[in-house]
Chain A
Amino acid sequence: MRQAVILAGLALLPGIGEAIYFRGKVSWQSPIPASEMVTVDQARSWSDGAIWADARPDEEFAHDHVPGAFSLNEDRWNELLPQFLNAWSPEKRVVVYCSSQSCNASREVARRLRDEAQLKNVFVLQGGWEEWLKSRK
């Protein structure tokens, strides 16, 4: 028993060392502030006060998407942005989503909408399309 505890303790040492060394460098940390994220429930509560942007590739959008969402991915940004902006209105919040929690496309699209188009009230959907699907069930 004592041997097992010692062995388990020794096995933990490299893990603890790595956790200390890589503290603050963990890749899954969100690069955007929490205030720019929105949950599915919150976004749904905005109802018509929100405009949805789907940052996933064309095929995924074509397969299924949030009702009323506009396709806005970086593959065809120059072509899709004008269509999205035609539907945008200053009083509306923008909700951008991609496939899941781990994808980055929605963050990039939200950043470009804020920085390049200078839109305000742009939010990234937490959990993305996966989370939307769960809420639909």
Chain B
Amino acid sequence: MRTRIFTFTLSIFVCAIARAELKWEQTAVELHPTPGDKEAVGHFKYQNTGSQPVRFKSVHTSCGCTAAQSQKDEVPPGEKGEITATFKIGDRTGTQVKTVTVQTDDPMNATTVLTLKAVIPQQLEINPTFVFWGQGEALKPKSIVVRASKDFPVKQLRVTSSSPDFQTKVEQTGNGQFKIDIQPRDTSRNMDATLIIQPESSTKTFYAKARVTNAAAIQ
């Protein structure tokens, strides 16, 4: 019995001394990309504060839009490094939270979840981005409301229809707020247009869609 207790205590003691330990400077990063940025890159720094090397077994991201890379496969005791997470912004808007799951051979911290939060500025809020009419529906305009964010003041808005089948009218309804009225020439046949929305102060172009469908409208 004594031998067993001694062996058990010794194994715990050995484990405590010869431990591998990856200490993360931070496991959550918040990024604020500026309009026009294509990527947001987060750096998750770590240090091996243990006395044993730590090996990375896998680094997985929660989304195909995020790529993560570790600089090395093995971190010797005392060494520092970082995991780089690159988030592809694309046409995403608002707050995006992506995770990177890191697995190591460190028995105390086998799995660490790193969180990358990107707050993507939304210059214009367009609601709705799609209006449609059913075939034969009354020829009445439908409206799209456009609101500029406080950080991107917009004084003028230019709206162009890709098709002469749809007419548009822009009206400013408040500070940074606009109403776009859209109306098709007729609703007897299928037709569609892309509405190109261009704020005068921005190089970024926004889009909405208008269509006459071949079904009865339920809007």
Please state if A105 and B194 are interface contacts (CB–CB under 8 Å).
Answer: no
Q: Which stretch from B11-19, B122-130, B167-175 is at the chain A interface?
A: B122-130
Of B92, B134, B216, which is in contact with the most chain A CB atoms at under 10 Å from its CB? B92
Q: Is residue A69 within 8 Å, beta carbon to beta carbon, of the partner chain?
A: no
Please state if B64 and A56 are interface contacts (CB–CB under 8 Å).
Answer: yes
Complex interface residues of chain B between 42 and 65 (CB less than 8 A to chain A)? 62-65
Q: Is residue B218 within 8 Å, beta carbon to beta carbon, of the partner chain?
A: yes
The CA-CA distance from A105 to B62 in the complex, in Å, is 10
Q: Is residue A119 within 8 Å, beta carbon to beta carbon, of the partner chain?
A: yes
How close is B178's CB to chain A, nearest CB, in angstroms? 17
Complex interface residues of chain B between 84 and 112 (CB less than 8 A to chain A)? 88, 90-92
Q: Which stretch from B28-36, B152-160, B180-188, B206-214 is at the chain A interface?
A: B206-214
Please state if B194 and A74 are interface contacts (CB–CB under 8 Å).
Answer: no
Please state if B134 and A81 are interface contacts (CB–CB under 8 Å).
Answer: no
- Given the known inter-chain contacts A75-B88, A105-B63, A105-B64, please indicate yes or no for A119 contacting B213, CB distance below 8 A: no
CB<8 Å pairs between A and B, sample of 29: A73-B90, A74-B90, A75-B91, A76-B90, A77-B91, A77-B92, A78-B206, A81-B129, A82-B194, A85-B130, A90-B132, A90-B213, A90-B215, A90-B216, A90-B218, A91-B215, A99-B64, A103-B63, A103-B64, A104-B62, A104-B63, A105-B64, A116-B129, A116-B130, A117-B128, A117-B129, A117-B130, A117-B209, A120-B218
Residue positions of A touching B, CB distance < 8 A:
56-57, 60, 73-79, 81-82, 85-86, 88-91, 99, 102-105, 108, 116-120
